[in-house]
Chain A
Amino acid sequence: NAGVTQTPKFQVLKTGQSMTLQCAQDMNHEYMSWYRQDPGMGLRLIHYSVGAGITDQGEVPNGYNVSRSTTEDFPLRLLSAAPSQTSVYFCASSYSSNQPQHFGDGTRLSIL
């Protein structure tokens, strides 16, 4: 079983560039979410989705967009990368928000 697959694993961007972090799950989970992890800050929710066609903002949504056209995929877009967005990004999925979350391996993103 693949579980939750994130690509790429590492990425270096220049300030102002845009990019999309990919997330796919094969468990037929309705709930998907994106977190960023910074040292000493734990995991902060960026955006989440309770099903295809439905997305909502989390704690730190500014500078990020998401869409959910299918149950399987939940891409995260950085519109204009800033050094403050240097972080490790985790995608997670579950049957619902109050069920155990399955995390991907993460994307380590550096913005110069």
Chain B
Amino acid sequence: GQQVMQIPQYQHVQEGEDFTTYCNSSTTLSNIQWYKQRPGGHPVFLIQLVKSGEVKKQKRLTFQFGEAKKNSSLHITATQTTDVGTYFCAGHGNAGNMLTFGGGTRLMVKP
């Protein structure tokens, strides 16, 4: 079945440093979604990428979808303490109705 892997599992950064998490799928995806989960909270949708090579920005967050539609990345510029949480990617395959989540990257920011 479809597998979605995310690295790194954990990342400690100093406030102001950049952060990147990478997502790789075993199969070609029709789209990829990104979610953020604050400690003790539930996942909250951030963005969806659909097109090959697509790049989207939300303030300090930049999301990319690979040309082959099998990988994606989330880059945060100049992290802030409010960025703390776990970031998940979730891929939807070309067939079926399942959304498969990656294992998540937990971001910790030292002030």
| Binary contact track A78-108/B, C-beta < 8 Å → 1, others 0 | 0000000000001010001111111111100
Stretch at the interface among A21-29, A33-41, A65-73: A33-41
Binding site for B on A (CB under 8 A): 31, 33, 35, 40-45, 48, 50, 56, 58-59, 90, 92, 96-106
Task: List residues of B (40-84) whose CB comes within 8 Å of A's CBs.
Answer: 41-45, 48
Q: With contacts defined as CB atoms under 8 Å apart, how many contacts are there between chain A and chain B in the complex?
A: 61
Query: Which B residue's beta carbon lies closest to that of A31?
Result: B97
Find out whether the CB atom of B33 lies under 8 angstroms from the CB atom of A101. yes
* Contact partner, A42, options B41, B44, B98, B102, Cβ 8 Å: B102
Q: On chain B, which size bracket covers the interface?
A: 20 to 34
Q: Report if B6 contacts A (CB, 8 A).
A: yes
Summarize B's interface: helix, strand, loop or mixed.
strand
What's the minimum C-beta distance from A66 to chain B, rounded to whole angstroms?
A: 14
* Contact partner, B97, options A40, A44, A56, A92, Cβ 8 Å: A56
What's the minimum C-beta distance from A61 to chain B, rounded to whole angstroms?
A: 12
Q: Take A31-B97, A35-B101, A90-B42 as given contacts and tell me if A97 and B88 are in contact as well, using a CB distance cutoff of 8 Å.
A: no
Query: Which A residue's beta carbon lies closest to that of B30?
Result: A98
